[in-house]
Structure 1
Amino acid sequence: MPKKIVVLGGGVGGVVAAKRLAERLRGRVDVEITLISDTDYYLLPPLLVNIALGDISPQQATLPLSRFAYRNVKVVKATVKKVDPDNRAVETDQGKFQYDYLIASLGTEFDFSSYNLAAGNHNYTIDGALKMREALINFRGGSVVIYTPEPVYRCGVYPYEIAGQLDAIFRKRGIRDKVDITLIHPLPKPLQMLGPEAVKIVEELYAAQGIKYVGGITQPGPVDDKAKTVTVGSEKFKYDLLIVVPPARLPKPFHDTPLVSKFPNGVWTAINVMTGRSVKYDDVYLPGEHSMPAIGLPVAGVPVHFTAMASANMVAGELLGEPVDPAQINSMVCAMDMGNFGTVFICDVKIDLANNKAAWMGNCYNILKSPVGKLIKDLFYKTWLATTI
């Protein structure tokens, strides 16, 4: 009987884990690898902003999961309904799947209902990016508000980037003098999580561009789509174009399961920081965005990529009977397009096994601030996409 490995999610974590397992196990162990995804394509989320800004088409941001066929990975298009670790089962709209090992990387839910964020534009899905592109094409001037109500969301640098990118676009279109840009965010200073060097770069940029930063918000309020206002505490911010950054939430298949725990920053799947293994089930690995806040890492593709590699290495090592080095993340590269220039930060990651955390804040430093940085970011993501499967 082959060992059954079920991988949930066709995003960064699931694809990386499935590829790594196939590379290490094919022809060496009797194993059946099944990748379950609710789409038949892999999407690189950072490229959604490029779709929204009109730089690329959706097809240029995706790869067909059918490419996994040559790796002997079975791909099933299905929506995961529930994870049942006590019975080693996954329930989907296409039936139930049993497993010997489970690697689940289901991203996060985007909460558009809180604060009435559905009234705004976003680029967190392909449909959302296309609608945002249309809104930008039709925008002729007025107040632009970028609203980030909570601190846990996908891609921590995104709100800061989009403000600079919109400034550059409006200047090219010759309407910048007709536009006010305001970024509303929970952090007191822009890009504060990357340290004082990053704060200085963004503050100088925003001062030169005339972008208003409203930081340190503790009372995020609702969007009034009729009055076209965002309420924050006792203040109201008028908008003509609203761009929203939805809070990240635990995916529904994990609700009411023993895989989750409550943390100061929300309810998330609980894992070992080094391996991505569930803290309660030895046969379950959870290297997804839904675990990153629990171990101190950002909700982003880079830490998910490395945690998925670590999880796959653990499973492969156990099946092969070989010594296991999970090779978890020890640094993160953050390449940003700020509109007129690009900047690249490196953050050293220190794994704290005693507290089951990955510490990186305060360990970031800038290695580039130049228009060339925009090209580096573009090449970084396009290379990542091209070599993923």
Structure 2
Amino acid sequence: MPKKILILGGGVGGVVAAKKMAERLRGRVDAEITIINDTDYYLLPPLLVNIALGDMEPRQAQLPLSMLEKRGVKYVKAKITKIDPDNRVVETDQGKFNYDYLLASLGVENDFQSYNLGVGYHNYTLDGALKLKEALRSFTGGKVVLLAPEPIYRCGVYPFEFACQLDTLFRKRGIRDRTSITLLYPFNKPLEPLGPEAVKISEGIAAKKGVECVSGVKPPITIDDKERVVTLSNGEKYKYDLLIVTPPARLPKPFEGTPLVAEIPTGKWTAISVYTGRSLKYDDVYLPGEHSMPYVGLPTAGVPVHFTALASAASITGELLGQPVDPAQINAMTCALDYGDVGMMFNCDIKLDLSSNKAAWMGSCYSILTSPLGRLIKDLFYKSWLATTM
């Protein structure tokens, strides 16, 4: 009987792991690899910004998951409803699936219910990006407010980056002189997690672009869409004509109520080994997704998920091949930012502390480029990554 490897999620973690395991096991181990996702395509999330800005069509940011079949990976389109690790069963709207190994990378749940965020525009889904695209197209000037109410959300640099991109967009359209841009931000300073150098550069760019950064925002926050005003916990009010929101990240629903979850000060997340991405409770379950990153101290972003998925894939294939496992887990991550007319790239050195099961990176970030060239490098990176993913 072939070993059944079940992968949940057709995002970065799932696709990277599927490709790596298929390459390493083909012709060497009798294994059946199946990937389950609720859409029939892989979408590169950072390119949702390009779609919202009108620089790219959705098809240019997508790849059909059926392309993995050429590598021997079976694809099933289904909605995952329940994970039962005690019985090695995953339930979906298309039936139940058993496994010998489970690798789940389900991203995060974007919370638009809290704070009444659903009344604002966003680009955290394809549908949201398309609606934001139309809103920007029809916008002729006024007060733009970007709101990030909590510090854990997908891609930590995004709100500040997008605020700067809007400045460039509005200047090109000739409406910047009658438009204000205000960012309501949960950290004490722009890009604070990346360290003092990033803060200094970002504050200078914000000042040059005339982007007002209101830092230290924290709940309770209310949005009155009838009056078009955001009220902060200190009573300050910010009127808006266009509201763009960054939803807090939450645990994906299929994990709720399972033993895979642990509660930490930042919320409920899946608990993993920082070294391999393996569940702390089940040796046959790996969870290299954004839903695990806060647990080990990494940001909810694609780069750490990518590396953790590779580590998980190496661990699973190593066991099946009877070979020593060296997951080669992440030791650095590079963050590329597009500020509309200039790009910035930061590298963060990462040290894994196996005794505390944490990845230390804050305070170890430094600039490697601040130049218009940075925008080109970021664009080429994403497009080349997409072209070689499958």
Give the TM-score category using the shorter length. over 0.9
Q: Give me the whole-angstrom Cα distance separating, in 1, the residues matched to 2:221 and 2:231.
A: 5
**2:36 is matched with which residue?**
36
Which blocks of at least 5 consecutive residues in structure 1 are unaligned? none
Q: Give me the whole-angstrom Cα distance separating, in 2, the residues matched to 1:19 and 1:210.
A: 45
SS at match of 1:186: coil
Q: Give me the whole-angstrom Cα distance separating, in 2, the residues matched to 1:166 and 1:377.
A: 17
Cα displacement string for residues 188-239 of structure 1 (whole angstroms, at most 9, x for unaligned residues): 1000111111111111111111111100122341211111111111111100
**1:15 is matched with which residue?**
15
In structure 2, give the amino acid aligned to 1:72. G
**1:87 is matched with which residue?**
87
**2:316 is matched with which residue?**
315
Q: Give me the whole-angstrom Cα distance separating, in 1, the residues matched to 2:143 and 2:285.
A: 48
Q: Give me the whole-angstrom Cα distance separating, in 2, the residues matched to 1:276 and 1:290.
A: 11
- What does 1:54-73 align with in structure 2 at a 5 Å threshold? 54-73=54-73
Query: Does residue 336 of structure 2 align to residue 335 of structure 1?
Result: yes
Cα displacement string for residues 24-46 of structure 1 (whole angstroms, at most 9, x for unaligned residues): 00110011000000011000000
SS at match of 1:87: coil
**2:249 is matched with which residue?**
248
**2:186 is matched with which residue?**
186
Cα displacement string for residues 236-264 of structure 1 (whole angstroms, at most 9, x for unaligned residues): 11000000000000000000000000011
Q: TM-score, normalised by structure 1?
A: 0.99
Moved more, 156-165 or 214-223: 214-223
Percent of pairs with identical residues: 70
Checking the alignment, whether the CA contact within 8 Å between 1:114 and 1:222 is kept in structure 2 is no
Query: Does residue 312 of structure 2 align to residue 305 of structure 1?
Result: no
In structure 2, give the amino acid aligned to 1:182. T
- What does 1:101-180 align with in structure 2 at a 5 Å threshold? 101-180=101-180
Q: Give me the whole-angstrom Cα distance separating, in 1, the residues matched to 2:355 and 2:324.
A: 22
- The two structures, once aligned, show a CA RMSD in angstroms of 0.6
In structure 1, give the amino acid aligned to 2:334. V
SS at match of 1:258: coil
- What does 1:261-280 align with in structure 2 at a 5 Å threshold? 261-280=262-281
SS at match of 1:82: strand
Query: Does residue 292 of structure 2 align to residue 291 of structure 1?
Result: yes
Checking the alignment, whether the CA contact within 8 Å between 1:34 and 1:73 is kept in structure 2 is yes
**2:219 is matched with which residue?**
219
Q: Give me the whole-angstrom Cα distance separating, in 1, the residues matched to 2:96 and 2:31.
A: 19
SS at match of 1:86: coil
Q: Give me the whole-angstrom Cα distance separating, in 2, the residues matched to 1:313 and 1:352.
A: 20
Checking the alignment, whether the CA contact within 8 Å between 1:36 and 1:75 is kept in structure 2 is yes
Q: Give me the whole-angstrom Cα distance separating, in 2, the residues matched to 1:200 and 1:2.
A: 55
Checking the alignment, whether the CA contact within 8 Å between 1:222 and 1:230 is kept in structure 2 is yes
SS at match of 2:22: helix
Q: Give me the whole-angstrom Cα distance separating, in 2, the residues matched to 1:214 and 1:313.
A: 43
Q: 1:371 to 1:220 in 2, by over 3 A?
A: farther
SS at match of 1:273: coil
- What does 1:220-235 align with in structure 2 at a 5 Å threshold? 220-233=220-233, 234-235=235-236
In structure 2, give the amino acid aligned to 1:294. Y
Cα displacement string for residues 282-305 of structure 1 (whole angstroms, at most 9, x for unaligned residues): 000000000001000000000000
SS at match of 1:332: strand
- What does 1:373-384 align with in structure 2 at a 5 Å threshold? 373-384=374-385
In structure 1, give the amino acid aligned to 2:152. V
Q: Give me the whole-angstrom Cα distance separating, in 2, the residues matched to 1:97 and 1:325.
A: 29
SS at match of 2:19: helix
In structure 1, give the amino acid aligned to 2:160. Y
Cα displacement string for residues 297-318 of structure 1 (whole angstroms, at most 9, x for unaligned residues): 0000000000000000000000
Cα displacement string for residues 125-173 of structure 1 (whole angstroms, at most 9, x for unaligned residues): 1110000000000000100000000000000000011010000010111
SS at match of 2:263: strand
Q: Give me the whole-angstrom Cα distance separating, in 2, the residues matched to 1:123 and 1:218.
A: 22
SS at match of 2:7: strand
Instruction: Give the 4+ runs in structure 1 shifted more than 6 A.
Output: none
Q: TM-score, normalised by structure 2?
A: 0.99
Q: Give me the whole-angstrom Cα distance separating, in 2, the residues matched to 1:169 and 1:220.
A: 32
Cα displacement string for residues 90-121 of structure 1 (whole angstroms, at most 9, x for unaligned residues): 00000000000000000000000000101000
Q: Give me the whole-angstrom Cα distance separating, in 2, the residues matched to 1:378 and 1:118.
A: 30
Query: Does residue 352 of structure 2 align to residue 351 of structure 1?
Result: yes
**2:372 is matched with which residue?**
371
Checking the alignment, whether the CA contact within 8 Å between 1:22 and 1:72 is kept in structure 2 is yes
Q: Give me the whole-angstrom Cα distance separating, in 1, the residues matched to 2:121 and 2:23.
A: 40
Q: Give me the whole-angstrom Cα distance separating, in 1, the residues matched to 2:175 and 2:217.
A: 29
Q: Give me the whole-angstrom Cα distance separating, in 2, the residues matched to 1:117 and 1:95.
A: 34
* Superposed displacement of residue 74, structure 1: 0.4
SS at match of 2:155: coil
In structure 2, give the amino acid aligned to 1:165. Q
Q: Give me the whole-angstrom Cα distance separating, in 1, the residues matched to 2:295 and 2:77.
A: 29
Q: Give me the whole-angstrom Cα distance separating, in 2, the residues matched to 1:34 and 1:122.
A: 32
